[in-house]
Structures are given as C-alpha cells and as structure tokens.
Structure 1
Amino acid sequence: MTKLTDIDARSRALFKNLVETYLETGEPVGSRTLSRADGVDVSPATIRNVMADLTELGLLEAPHTSAGRLPTERGLRLFVDGMLEVGEPTSDERAALMQHSSPTDPDGMLDHAAGMLSGLTSMASLVMASKTDRPLKHLEFVRLDEARALAVLVDAGGDVENRLIELPRGLPGSALIEAANYLNAQLAGRSLSEARQLVDREIAAKATQLDELTAELARRGIAELTTGPSRGARRLIVRGQSRLLEGAQGDLERVQQLFDELERKEGLLDLLEAAREGEGVRIFIGAENRLFSLSGSSVVAAPYRDAGNNIIGVLGVIGPTRLNYGRVIPLVNYTAEVISRGLK
C-alpha cells in the first residue's frame, strides 16, 4: 500500500489538487487544468510526468474517453487518511440536527436524525440500532417447571416480551422474586449493557445479598436479556434513497446497482457493525467493503452512545465515492454526538 512518504512534496501537492478538483467537478482532471490552479508553478509537461508516476503507483487512473486522470479507490483512501481538510457543521446545520433531538421515544429521535442527515448531505442515510436501545421498565420471572421460567419484560415504550430461560437446579420459588427485584433495581436508569456489567461485577465480587443460586439466576437472566436473539436483534433505518438519483445522469447503472446492494440488509448491518470497532468516524471506500464492490460507493459512519458511554448503534450516509468528505464527515460525527446527548 502506497504511503504519503512514498511520494515527494511536489507530487503530493499535485495529487491533492487533482483529487480536490475531481471531488468538486466529478470530471477527469487534465494537466492543463492543474497547471492553472492557484499555487501550481510547474509546466503541463511536468504535471503529465507526475500524473504518469502516480498512475503507476495505483493512485490515479485514466478513463478511456479522456486524457485526464481520476483518483482510484486507493488514491481516495490516501487522500482521506492523510490530506483531507475537514470543516465544521454550520450553525444552521447544527440547529437543524438539534431540532427535536430529544423526544421521549428513542425510535423517533433516530428516525428524525436519519431524515435530517439525508437532507443535509443529499445522500441516503443509514442507522443501525438494536432493541436493547429501549430501556426496560420492569422484569419478572414466572416459573414454568423445575428447570424453566419465563422472563416477562416490559420496556419503556410499553412493549411486552417473553423470554424462556433455564433455571439453576434446586432453585426455590422465592429466588425468582428476589432475583427479579435485584435486577429491576440494577436496570433503573441504566441501559441493559450497563446493568449487565454492574451485575457481573457485583456477583463476581460477591457484593450482593443474594444466595448462590439466586445470584446465578440473576446472572443468567441479565445475560439472556442482552445476548438473546430477540432483544439483541439489530434493526436498520434507511432514509433518502431517492437522493442517490440526484445528479446521477450517465451513472444510473451504478445507482441501480447500489439500490440492489441496499436491499441486502444483513450486509448493511454487518458493515455498520464494523464501524462500532473504532473511535469516531469510519470511512469505507468502494471495494474496501464487499457489499459495495460493484457499485463503487462510499460509506461514512460513526457510532453513538448511551448514558454509560457504551456504543449502542451506528449511523452514517452512503453515496458515490466522489463525495464531499470534508463536509460529510463532520456532519455524520455531529449527528452521532446529538443522538448520544439525546440518549443521556
């Protein structure tokens, strides 16, 4: 992989100028165009030689119908990682994202954020959340037989869900009430992930008033809530797909391919899941992600957090690789911050 240190200062400056021009115009950039740019004081012939060298390094490519050059996906990655100048959201953009940012319904907040982000970036927006985003209001255990019990869950939105859990052998009936009371106390004002961390720590340190069997039931119960197939299921919000058609003249085949890729929701969820692994904004360019290897699209995504600073979801935008990264990245990052503040 080519690094910035592999090319000299003149080549870096010309490369940066070329990529910025391409991102602004969407057209191949020729040597004559670059020679007229501010701060460029070398001849078109010299520029052509530099462009040829950068093409050999895999940073530029030449379309068949033009003598100009375009950055490759590898070139875009080099530019984004080492040369991109990132701005800040304007006051109007901040105000738009802050509007109605803290409704009592977290789902409504996420839907609003997705719509606003799509509108501000003129791209499709994506939000990955899990059912664990909505805090639990009440939990109780109902014994079915010696080995099983039903965990009855009521969340903050009033939805009720039943989960089957295995009971520790020899558990007395009173332990179900004790374990439920203990877990309800831990869940109050906390997300499920926060409550699980607290329960695990207290049980490991033998810091609860529960006996061994009741503590084991509490541990199993909270683990089932946070990792089971229903509460832990991921869900996807997609807004603004029609915006992908704007300005797509001559590129409709790529957009149609992107629409097809957006239909593969599991692939999208896996992509957004990958954005949870690091701090701040993550950028996936073209074939760096298998899902968009055909359409050549970019995803800019950032995680958002709950009151305990735990990452509980990811939001982002998707569009062509030729997008205004310097503007989109701070918008995505600020939207994630707004959601995080709204969930605290």
Structure 2
Amino acid sequence: MTDRPNPLSDLNARSREVFRRVVEGYLQSGDPVGSRTLTRTMSEKLSAATIRNVMQDLEYLGLLGSPHVSAGRIPTQLGLRMFVDGLLEVAEIGDSDRETIDASLESTDHDVTNMLDHVGATLSRITRGASLVLAPKHETPIRHIEFVSLGADRALVVLVFADGHVENRVFTPPPGQTPSSMREAANFLNAIAEGRTLSDLRSDIAGELKRHRQEIDELARSLVESGLAVWENAGESSERLIVRGRANLLPESDEGAELERIRTLFDDLERKRDIAEFLDLAEQGEGVRIFIGSENKLFSLSGSSLVVSPYMNAERKIIGAVGVIGPTRLNYGRIVPIVDYTAQLVGRMISDRTKG
C-alpha cells in the first residue's frame, strides 16, 4: 500500500509475534496489553521478563508505546500502519454481514440517492461506526440553479441538469445570508452556467477566488507594513500570517477587526484544502484504502481511522466512494471486506440502473 520502509522486515519471528499479539489484543479490547497476558498466548513458552525485553525493543523502534509507566503496551500510529500493511489478515466478508447489506440494498427503489442513503445507514449499523458515502459525480451541463432559504441555518439548492436530472441538496449557508443574497448568487451562477458542468463552474469560481485573493493581501498589508505581522511561506498552500503582539490588538480596533477577518478567511481556506485533499486521496486507484490518525488531516485531532473504497461505473471509471470512520482500534480485518464488498455492490447496482 505504501513505499515507506517497514521495520517489521528486520524483526525475528519472536518479535513479530509479540508485536502482532499486542496489536490484535489492543484492537479487540482497546486496552494496553501486558507481558503476563502474552505469556498465556505465545506459541512458544516465554517468561514475562523476556516478553518485556522484546516490548522494549519494539518501543525503541517506534512500533509500540506505553500510556503509563507501569502499564502494558499499545501500538503507535506507525505500529498500526505497519500492522495493516504487513500483518493484517483479511478474510472474506461474513455471511451475516453480506446478507444484511444485500437485503438492505435490494429493498431500495431505482433512485440512486435513496440507495446511497441505505448504504450509509447499513454500514453504520453493522460496523458501529460513522459511514461516509460520496455520491456519483454528475458531469452533465447545468441548466439551472436555485437556492431556497429554509430557515436561519438551512437552505436548499436545486440543481437542474441539461439531461433532465434534478438534485436537491440541503446545506447550511454561510452566516448572514438572506433570501435576496441567495437569489443574487443563483443569478450570478445561472448567468455563467450554460453549457458548463459543475466541474467547469468550480474551475470558473476558482478563478474568481484567485482574483479576489487580493482581499486578504489588502487586509493584511497595513499589519505587515506596521511591523505587527509577517507572512510565512508566502504564496504557498501552507502560508500563514504570523501576528506579533496579538494581545495588544483590541477587538474593536481597526487592526483587530482586520485580523479577525483574515483569520476567518484562512480558516475557510484550510477547511476547503483538507476536504479537497481527502477527495483526491479517496479517488486514487482501485481497492480499499486505510487512513490512520494524522495520515488524514480531517481526523488528525480525533484519533480516528478511515477505511474507504471507491466504486466504479460500467466503464470502470471511479464515480464515488463508500467508507467507515471509527476509532484507530477498528476491527480492520472485518471492516475492510465489508467496505470492499459494499463498494463493488454499489458500483454494479448503479451501472445496472443507469443502463435501465
């Protein structure tokens, strides 16, 4: 799955078994695994002292960690990655899980949106994790876009495509949006939408964003010129505005207001970059992909893992993805075949329905 060096290749059979049993024990219970526990499960009879020495070596390699001084060991993020890449045993999907998924999808109508809703609900139920479903991309040109306000924090966007396909999506609009501002946004998009797909529109808007990037530059210029701030990695995707003496900027002052607006703009940019990166990763090739902890920016602060697999249409083109999000101690051996099977089934069903 990766090209990174695998420390497991340098371990002898005893160390590999200790490592494997620690990880499997942790994934099953969520608790640190101690040397005395392993004395009862190792294939060869070893003393607790010998096992502790092996654990210390594995800790030195960065594969295991100890949450407390006298506790057992748990796998580090590197350890989990090495286990998943080199030692994970993935079986066929269980009969019960397969039957549950089949029954759930067979009960849906021909509407793809309803089917994907069932997919998400079924994955959540049988894995006890949060499901992730990326709907198929609809790349037909847009005929019309309409925004409808449903309340202070809810709105509906209606997308009418040139082929007659209609999509309705509920979303949370940016703060301060009014029905009139939504109409203005729809009028702007409809004025440039003819003959363009959603991807085309995104590209057009990206150009608009680039031209309006000067808003951030102009807001920050006075702070930089006064010596209160300095750009770090200017012009790069990781650029930051480093503010000096921030505590001296009063919230009601012009500088304080500008700084707050800049912070809001940057926060929005970062969220969009993270989501774009995740979508790129989810669409890189066939098969199930596993992202552990900080390997994915979306989950770096929550100690979560993502098991995701793309699904394809009849032309073997990736059109979406399904996945499960859960704690890093997911039962990967069970979750991987469930996600893989679901993705393949969804791809076949969408291909069959689009043919009809």
**TM-score with structure 2 length normalisation?**
0.62
- Indicate conservation of the 8 Å contact 1:272/1:315, yes or no: no
Whole-angstrom CA distance in 2 between matches of 1:318 and 1:158? 26
Determine the structure 2 residue equivalent to 1:290: 297
Give the alignment of 1:300-311 within 5 angstroms.
300-311=307-318
Determine the structure 1 residue equivalent to 2:60: 56
- Indicate conservation of the 8 Å contact 2:293/2:304, yes or no: yes
Give the alignment of 1:227-238 within 5 angstroms.
227-229=199-201
Residue 3 (1) aligns with residue 10 (2)? no
Give the alignment of 1:103-182 within 5 angstroms.
103-132=109-138, 153-157=162-166, 164=192
Determine the structure 2 residue equivalent to 1:12: 16
State the Cα distance separating 1:10 from its structure 2 match.
Answer: 1.1
Whole-angstrom CA distance in 2 between matches of 1:228 and 1:319? 34
Determine the structure 2 residue equivalent to 1:320: 327
Give the letter for the 2:95 counterpart.
S
Change (3 A) 1:313 1:325: same
Once the two structures are aligned, what percentage of the paired residues are identical?
Answer: 49
Whole-angstrom CA distance in 2 between matches of 1:34 and 1:19? 11
State the Cα distance separating 1:67 from its structure 2 match.
Answer: 2.4
Determine the structure 2 residue equivalent to 1:89: 93
Whole-angstrom CA distance in 2 between matches of 1:5 and 1:121? 32
Give the letter for the 1:127 counterpart.
V
- Indicate conservation of the 8 Å contact 1:97/1:338, yes or no: no
Whole-angstrom CA distance in 2 between matches of 1:76 and 1:64? 19
- Indicate conservation of the 8 Å contact 1:286/1:293, yes or no: yes
Consecutive unaligned residues of structure 2, counting only runs of 5 or more, are 144-159, 169-188, 206-270, 352-356
- 2:36 corresponds, among 32, 36, 52, to 32
State the Cα distance separating 1:268 from its structure 2 match.
Answer: 4.5
Greater shift in the superposed pair: 42-51 or 1-10: 1-10
- Indicate conservation of the 8 Å contact 2:292/2:305, yes or no: yes
- Indicate conservation of the 8 Å contact 1:123/1:317, yes or no: yes
TM-superposition CA deviations, 1:72-100 (whole Å, max 9, x none): 00000000011011122222221221233
TM-superposition CA deviations, 1:131-156 (whole Å, max 9, x none): 517x78x98xxxxxxxxxxx971434
Change (3 A) 1:12 1:288: same
- Indicate conservation of the 8 Å contact 1:152/1:163, yes or no: no
- Indicate conservation of the 8 Å contact 1:285/1:297, yes or no: yes
State the Cα distance separating 1:231 from its structure 2 match.
Answer: 11
Whole-angstrom CA distance in 2 between matches of 1:291 and 1:131? 22
Whole-angstrom CA distance in 2 between matches of 1:118 and 1:68? 31
SS, match of residue 338 in structure 1 = helix
TM-superposition CA deviations, 1:279-326 (whole Å, max 9, x none): 200000011122222111100000011121110111101111011000
Change (3 A) 1:78 1:306: same
State the Cα distance separating 1:267 from its structure 2 match.
Answer: 3.4
| CA RMSD, 1 decimal | 3.0
Consecutive unaligned residues of structure 1, counting only runs of 5 or more, are 140-150, 167-220, 234-263
Give the letter for the 1:292 counterpart.
F
State the Cα distance separating 1:14 from its structure 2 match.
Answer: 1.0
- Indicate conservation of the 8 Å contact 2:18/2:38, yes or no: yes
Determine the structure 2 residue equivalent to 1:279: 286
SS, match of residue 126 in structure 1 = strand
- Indicate conservation of the 8 Å contact 1:105/1:157, yes or no: no
Whole-angstrom CA distance in 1 between matches of 2:91 and 2:286? 19
- More relative contact order in 1 or in 2 (CA 8 Å, sep 6+)? 1
SS, match of residue 278 in structure 2 = helix
Determine the structure 2 residue equivalent to 1:69: 73
TM-superposition CA deviations, 1:203-261 (whole Å, max 9, x none): xxxxxxxxxxxxxxxxxx5xx3363237999xxxxxxxxxxxxxxxxxxxxxxxxxxxx
- 2:47 corresponds, among 39, 43, 49, to 43
SS, match of residue 228 in structure 1 = helix
Whole-angstrom CA distance in 2 between matches of 1:287 and 1:152? 38
- Indicate conservation of the 8 Å contact 1:110/1:127, yes or no: yes
Whole-angstrom CA distance in 1 between matches of 2:276 and 2:340? 19
Change (3 A) 1:232 1:297: farther
Whole-angstrom CA distance in 2 between matches of 1:228 and 1:331? 35
Determine the structure 2 residue equivalent to 1:172: none
Residue 329 (1) aligns with residue 336 (2)? yes
- Indicate conservation of the 8 Å contact 1:305/1:311, yes or no: yes
Report the number of matched residues: 245
Determine the structure 2 residue equivalent to 1:178: none
Change (3 A) 1:85 1:152: closer
